[in-house]
Chain A
Amino acid sequence: MVEKALFAIFLEGVFIKNFLIIQFLGLCSFVGVTKDVKSAAGMSGAVIFVMAMASTASYLLYTYILVPTEMTFLDLISFIVVIAALVQLVEFVVRKNIPSLYRSLGIYLPLITTNCAVLGVVLLNVQSQYNFMQSVVFGISAGVGYTIVMLMMASIRERSTFVSIPSSIRGLPQAFLIATMLSLAFVNYFWVIPI
């Protein structure tokens, strides 16, 4: 396996393998929470945080518990439990210590447990055999890429609320057509950059 530079992994996570519009992970929140910029920002903040924590925790779990005991076939079940526990823990800590942050992020935290983007990061880390630093960087970069696209999408949808379009396109189909444009831009610009 070729050792990848951290910066290359970061760019890859943000643009080339963007979670939302290249890899199609976490689409439920992409069409569900992007009706206005404020909630999109709240959701993205929570996702970055949980993705970084989940990649750290799952790396430690996988390398120091599952591999030595030869129970790697249990990875899926243990990752799901770890993510759910982590989200609960984050919720308790944030609610107790930073109430203002809890008021803005709190309602998005439970949504993250079943967000496939978080489990996706963890599984891709294992699949690409990243070491500790690489896993954490990939986790953060995936979160940053998620944030960028969520904010772009939410701003476009917020501004196009009053556009006159046929009623059968309004809502989800419109969101998917906007996503087509964003995805075209990402595919064409970022796939030609050699890292």
Chain B
Amino acid sequence: MNVFSEFMRGITRDNPIFGLVLGLCPTLAVTTSVENAIGMSAGTAFVLVCSNIFISAMRKQIPSAVRLPIFIIIIATFVSIVRMIMEAYVPSMYTALGVFIPLIVVNCIIIGRAEAYANKNSIFPSFIDALGISTGFLLVLMVIGGIREILGTGQIVSFGYTLLSLPVNPAVTTMILPPGAFLTIGILMAVVNYQRAKKRAKGG
């Protein structure tokens, strides 16, 4: 097994948003800024890595008839841990993300990886798979969050640092409101589809 290609698979071909089209709700809801996007992906990554390792370690003990309820309980446990940690150490982030932290539990990415990968593979590949998928998720969320924040507020401010600021303020407030999320992901998805079609045509 090639560790690097396995890791890159989560970013390109099996990218949770553009490849597998899973976990759309948090992708659209929390990407009003880069900071929120990073916080959300960090929470999701923790749950994904832990649940993938745990489920893959337990995969011989879990009876396949009742595996889905067991997966959900395992995931819910890790989500509760994330929720308490975030509430205690980063309360402002916890308030900003609101109901979407507990909703990691029904994020299709996590249960999808548990069912499709961790349930069939040993611990180390599952860990690499979780890392790759989390990185893919983080990158997409940061891109969407960046586009929305720069167009909606004219600057990108993360954790107290101004990363980027436009000389003129475009003030397209719509971009940080709900319609901006749909618009951004619609256009990005069309671009990805276009690139893939072009690649396929070239490859024959």
Residues of A within 8 A of B (CB): 21-28, 31, 73-74, 76-77, 80-81, 84, 114-116, 119-120, 123-124, 127, 166-169, 171-177, 179-181, 183-184, 186-187
B96 within 8 A of A: no
Interface residues on B, range: 35 or more
Contact between chains at B111 and A24 (CB < 8 Å): no
A-B contact pairs, 5 of them (CB 8 A): A28-B22, A73-B80, A169-B193, A176-B182, A176-B183
Residues in chain B near residue A173, CB distance under 8 A? 186-187, 189-190, 193
With contact pairs A22-B178, A77-B77, A167-B197 given, residues A27 and B25 touching in the complex (Cβ less than 8 Å): yes
| Residues of chain A within 8 A of B69, CB atoms compared | 81, 84
User: Contact between A124 and B99 (Cβ–Cβ < 8 Å)?
Assistant: yes
CA distance A97 to B22 in the complex (A): 35
Main secondary structure on chain A at its contact with chain B?
Answer: helix
Given A28-B24, A77-B77, A177-B186: A120 and B103 interface contact (C-beta under 8 Å): yes
**B79 nearest CB across to chain A (Å):** 6
Q: Do the beta carbons of B182 and A23 come within 8 Å of each other?
A: no
Known pairs A124-B99, A168-B194 / 6 extra A-B pairs, C-beta < 8 Å: A28-B24, A28-B25, A31-B21, A81-B73, A123-B99, A177-B183
Within B146-190, which residues are at the interface with A (CB < 8 Å)? Answer: 174, 177-179, 181-183, 185-187, 189-190
- Expressed in whole angstroms, the Cα–Cα distance for A26 and B107 within the complex equals 10
**A167 to nearest B CB, angstroms?**
7
Is there contact, CB below 8 Å, between A120 and B99?
yes
Q: Judge whether B25 and A177 touch: CB under 8 Å.
A: no
Main secondary structure of the interface of B (DSSP, over half): helix
> Is A119 in contact with B178, judged by CB distance below 8 angstroms?
no
Which of A120, A176, A186 meets B186, CB within 8 Å?
Answer: A176
Residues of A within 8 A of B26 (CB): 24
Inter-chain contacts of A168 with B (CB < 8 A): 190-191, 193-194, 197
Whether B86 sits at the interface, judged by CB under 8 Å, is no
Nearest to B174 among chain A residues (CB) is: A184
**How distant is the Cα of A184 from the Cα of B186 in the complex, in angstroms?**
14
Shortest distance between the CB of B91 and any CB in chain A (Å): 15
A24 and B29 contacting across the interface, CB-CB below 8 Å: yes
- The 6 A-B residue pairs with the shortest CB-CB distance in the complex, in nearest-first order: A176-B186, A24-B29, A168-B193, A173-B190, A168-B194, A180-B182
Q: Considering the chains assembled together, what is the distance between the CA atoms of A180 and B178 in angstroms?
A: 8
Indicate which residue in A26, A127, A167 contacts B25 across the interface (CB closer than 8 Å).
A26
CA distance A80 to B107 in the complex (A): 13
Instruction: Tell me if B72 counts as interface (CB < 8 A to partner A).
Output: yes
CB distance from A173 to the nearest CB of B (A): 4
**CB within 8 A of B177: which of A124, A171, A174, A187?**
A187
Contact partner of A183 among B25, B72, B182, B191, CB < 8 A? B182
- Count chain B CB atoms within 10 A of each CB in A31, A173, A174 and give the residue with the most: A173
Residue of A nearest to B196 (CB): A168
Instruction: Determine if B189 and A184 form an interchain contact, defined as CB atoms under 8 angstroms apart.
Output: no
Bound CA–CA A171/B79 (angstroms): 33
Cβ–Cβ contact A177 & B103, under 8 A: no
Chain B hits for A119, CB < 8 A: 102-103, 105-106
**Neighbour of A114 across the interface among B99, B108, B174, B177, CB < 8 A:** B108
Taking A23-B29, A177-B183, A184-B174 as contacts, is the C-beta distance between A127 and B99 under 8 angstroms? yes
Q: How far is the CA of A119 from the CA of B106 in the complex (A)?
A: 8
Nearest Cβ on chain A to B137's Cβ, whole angstroms: 15
Question: Known interface pairs A31-B24, A173-B193, A176-B186. Does A24 touch B178 (Cβ–Cβ under 8 Å)?
Answer: yes
